[in-house]
Amino acid sequence: MSELEENCDCNDDCPCKGEPATQEEVQAQHDAWWNSLTNEQKQQMYDSKEALFELSVEEMNHDLSFGK
Per residue in 4-61, pLDDT tens? 566 666 666 666 666 778 999 999 999 999 999 999 999 999 998 888 888 787 777 7
Residue whose C-alpha is closest to residue 1's, from 21, 15, 18 = 18
Total of domains in the chain:
1
Task: Answer whether 52's CB lies under 8 Å from 43's CB.
Answer: no
Residue 59: the pLDDT is 79
Domain-located, residue 11: no
33 closest CA partner among 44, 21, 23, 41: 41
Structural domain includes residue 5: no
- The pLDDT score that the predictor gives to residue 24 is 94
Residue 12 resides in a domain: no
